[in-house]
Structure 1
Amino acid sequence: MSSKADFAKAKALTVTYLTPVSFASLNGSDKEADNISSIKKISAGVEQYPYVSAQAVRRALRNQLEVLGWTLSEGAVATIKKGAATTKQEPEKYIDDDLFGFMGTESGEGAGPGSAHKRTSVVRVSPLVALNPYQGDLDFGTNYMGVGAGGNPNIFETEVHAGLYRGTILIELDRVGCGDGFAKPLDNNEKAKRVKALLAAVKNLWASGRQSRFLADISPKFMAGALLVVKNPIFLESVLVDGADLNTKTLIETLKDYESETLATVIGARSGFFTGIPENTVSIGEAFNTMAGWVDQYYEIKDN
């Protein structure tokens, strides 16, 4: 059992999760080319694997934080010509500026040089990549909106996919609520509150795009979490499946290989989705509650 002193050594919390999708067009394009709306794919050999970009996952996490009651940093117009819009860049006030970072520039006075403000993201996110290849499936649709104005129905196609997706996040616990953008660090209670809010967002992950016709649940149905004294997403390439059978051997080997860098681990799974899960696997809810407990111990939050 890890001691309180051990938890103080932690540097990062990482979670790798699996989510099965039965019918979806995740992160698909809104602009139709040749009447086909495509989904993002990456090639591996002769196969193509759909994925949700890390940017889209980060957007989904931000949206879920807002749903959970957090006020997000609103977009701000750049003060320099052709500058990109950014956030308000106030991490002390806004959870998303703290956890997801920002890059902003400001124009200088007169002909003087401008200035740049940057906070590197505390939360590192992988794309949500399918473990099953794209099979060329298409959903056929017809848009009748222009018929009443004398037009013809517009027939279109949308690429769809069914399969298992894998994603990973890593949270740099030692950088939450301090560093770039902070006049002084936040108190530990606020730091813990923000990290636990992010964990709740991951537990309830929901992609907001293309949900009117392709409602999909991308919340974790299997997850492996670890509290580490290093910053390494140890499960990123080590959570493997063959059909619905989890490769427990690889997972156990990973835990053993990084035993000296690991302070605590938890495996969670939803019943009925996977076979061959390791012993001592708990429910998804219990797994996230366990990680929330790690966060409280790391930030030395006392029980109320």
Structure 2
Amino acid sequence: MAFISGTLLIDAPASALNNSGEPIPNARTANTSSVKFIRGKDGTYPYVSGQAQRYWLRNTLEKASGIRWESSPTYRGDKIAFTDANPILYWDDDLLGYMRAPGKKDYENIKNTPELTQQEEDAKGNPRTVTRVSPFRIGTLVSIAPVNITEDFGTMTRTENDPVPYEHQFYRAYMHTLFALDLAMAGTFTYSRRSGFQNLDSVRKELAEEHGLTKRDDLLAYQLPPTDRADRVRSLLLGLGELQGGAKQAIHYTDVSPAIAIFAVVRGGSNPFNYLFAESGGQVSVKLDVLQDAIADLVKHDLLLSPVCIGWKPGFIDEQRPSGDFGVEGAQIYIDTPRSAFAALADYITQNPNLMDE
């Protein structure tokens, strides 16, 4: 199976991208806001959860004017929320997965909602759960080195009364994560009874037939045409290239689009682009020799299925940027800005839709 596998580096110069909801220990005020972090033996590592990054990506794709994206309607109950769970129509249900398992009360509320696809019922009239494992995967975005988390004291002073004090945390960090997209599963919707693979119930199988999807008995699945699947993947890649989001942007504005992104289409789900970043003296370093070794290993074992794309923002540690003679025998390497690099691979996949089933 083919995967888009890659790594992202984000520069967070003075940021609070994902808050914990917990009070700051030993705070001087009652109003506090703390950041999420991992406590290690060598210090604290700020992080952004995968859930938060997926939220950023969804919002980016929904709002981007130049990227086609079909968003699924969402139902919110008292203690539950879910999307329409219709990957045939909605691209986020396809590429980002879902679980629709309403309780009896919520099911009665949505049973005749026209915006939502209906759900198969069992013999007792209860809805059958539909689930889909996300073809797109992203790791925790975490600082590559331990940092000191700063506590900032402020006041709300827009009234004639005494100021209202508050405290919050922020940090300076280079943050790194891995990501992958299972190309075989993009646009392929299974109806196995296994948890995570009951993508389609009988209602959705009928929709698949109506929309002309190919039935794959060998996979217990219905499948969109390769060109349609490639178009959906293209949009997600373009979204990664211009990612927006993050908490406390009003006072700690941070560009969360990648400062560096390295990725390619490879055989197998093992990500070859780990261990490329290090930190020394407060500065990040990119281990280009390790990257060359990783690419050479892909070539040696016939695992590389596309150009290796290196996106690097102009002005970001320019002295480390790979020069024009950077290369590996047997591999095509594309170096540009992150936005252009993601667009280049997006074009490559739409021009070679056979990669979806490589």
Coordinate RMSD, CA, aligned: 2.5
Name the residue aligned to 2:320.
276
Give the C-alpha shift of residue 50 in structure 1.
0.3
Alignment of 1:90-105 (within 5 A): 90-105=86-101
Contact kept? 1:18, 1:220, Cα under 8 Å? yes
Name the residue aligned to 1:50.
46
Contact kept? 2:82, 2:100, Cα under 8 Å? yes
Give the letter aligned to residue 15 of structure 1.
Answer: G
Name the residue aligned to 2:291.
251
| d(CA) in 2 for partners of 1:85, 1:286 | 36
Name the residue aligned to 1:153.
163
User: TM-score normalized by structure 2?
Assistant: 0.72
Alignment of 1:147-186 (within 5 A): 147=159, 152-179=162-189, 180-181=199-200, 183=208, 184=213, 185-186=223-224
- Give unpaired runs (5+ residues) of structure 1: 1-9
Q: How many residues align?
A: 286
Moved more, 179-188 or 209-218: 179-188
Matching residue within 228, 241, 264 for 1:190: 228
The DSSP-based 3-state class of the residue aligned with 1:115 is coil
The DSSP-based 3-state class of the residue aligned with 1:206 is coil
Over 6 Å off, 4+ runs: none
Give the C-alpha shift of residue 208 in structure 1.
4.3
Q: Deviations over 1:158-185 (max 9, x none)?
A: 1111121112210111111121336232
Do residues 26 (structure 1) and 17 (structure 2) align?
Answer: yes
| d(CA) in 1 for partners of 2:97, 2:126 | 23
The DSSP-based 3-state class of the residue aligned with 1:28 is coil
Name the residue aligned to 1:289.
343
The DSSP-based 3-state class of the residue aligned with 2:47 is strand
* Distance of aligned partners of 1:136 and 1:299 in 2 relative to their CA distance in 1, 3 Å threshold: same
Contact kept? 2:278, 2:287, Cα under 8 Å? yes
The DSSP-based 3-state class of the residue aligned with 2:335 is coil
User: TM-score normalized by structure 1?
Assistant: 0.84
| d(CA) in 1 for partners of 2:101, 2:340 | 43
Alignment of 1:58-137 (within 5 A): 58-69=54-65, 70-77=69-76, 84-106=80-102, 107=104, 114-137=127-150
- Give unpaired runs (5+ residues) of structure 2: 25-29, 105-120, 190-198, 214-222, 328-333
How much identity, in percent, do the aligned residues show?
27
Contact kept? 2:72, 2:92, Cα under 8 Å? yes
Give the letter aligned to residue 228 of structure 1.
Answer: V
